[in-house]
A and B are shown apart, each in its own frame.
Chain A
Amino acid sequence: DAKTTQPPSMDCAEGRAANLPCNHSTISGNEYVYWYRQIHSQGPQYIIHGLKNNETNEMASLIITEDRKSSTLILPHATLRDTAVYYCIVRGLTSNTGKLIFGQGTTLQVKP
């Protein structure tokens, strides 16, 4: 599975959009981009995933560049409850075992 690079921390004002970047320059054609978050002391929470098209759900939007070497998770109207560590994970499904490889993630602090 490809390695990802994320900034260690970011701040965002409450009510504004939070844009969390992720670099995955070694991603291969059959690998998906996943985003999870972990709010303090809780289990990781699935947010969204995509292959090459932009994706949107009730929680967030995922923008993947055309060359697929980077992506951005967008929380359109961040709230204080969105303060968490956000993990970008790249993995393929062809030989899938269900396992996820977590890096250090980005700590997002939403401020009032």
Chain B
Amino acid sequence: NAGVTQTPKFQVLKTGQSMTLQCAQDMNHEYMSWYRQDPGMGLRLIHYSVGAGITDQGEVPNGYNVSRSTTEDFPLRLLSAAPSQTSVYFCASGTRETQYFGPGTRLLVL
């Protein structure tokens, strides 16, 4: 199995543009989540999901939307990108006990 996959790997946006960061897992995990990591800082939770159709906010949800229509996919949407959203984004999936992270998406908002 491929584990947790994220696309794209890199993205450059202009302020105000929208985009969707994709995350998929093939391990039938219930739990999925999105984190962002800024230089010199630890990971901060954006949104998470405990199953298809169920999502909730994390520490820094503003400016981001999520949905979970299937077990496998958990896309993160930026409706109107801002320079403050320049970051590295990590998706994770797992069980109630353990989370596994994807390789990350590096986003630059100009």
Q: Could you list which residues of chain A lie within 8 angstroms of chain B, going by C-beta atoms?
A: 32, 41-46, 49, 87, 93, 96-105
Contacts and interface: CB of A to CB of B under 8 A. Distances in A.
A49 B94 CA distance: 14
Contacts of B4: 43
A93 B97 contact: yes
B52 to A, nearest CB: 14
A44 B92 CA distance: 9
B32 A44 contact: no
B53 interface: no
Interface of B: 4, 30-33, 35, 41-45, 48, 50, 56, 58, 90, 92, 94-104
Given A42-B103, A98-B33, A98-B95, 18 more contacts: A32-B97, A43-B90, A43-B92, A44-B90, A46-B99, A49-B97, A97-B50, A98-B32, A98-B48, A98-B96, A98-B99, A99-B33, A100-B43, A100-B99, A103-B42, A104-B41, A104-B42, A105-B42
16 contacts: A42-B104, A43-B92, A44-B43, A44-B92, A46-B100, A87-B42, A93-B96, A93-B97, A96-B96, A98-B30, A98-B31, A98-B92, A98-B95, A100-B92, A101-B45, A103-B42
Nearest to A93: B96
A85 to B, nearest CB: 9
Majority SS at the chain B contact face: strand
A46 B36 CA distance: 17
A99 to B, nearest CB: 5
Contacts of B92: 43-44, 98, 100
A93 B94 CA distance: 13
Contact of A45 (B42, B96, B101, B104): B101
Given A43-B90, A44-B43, A104-B42, A99 B98 contact: no
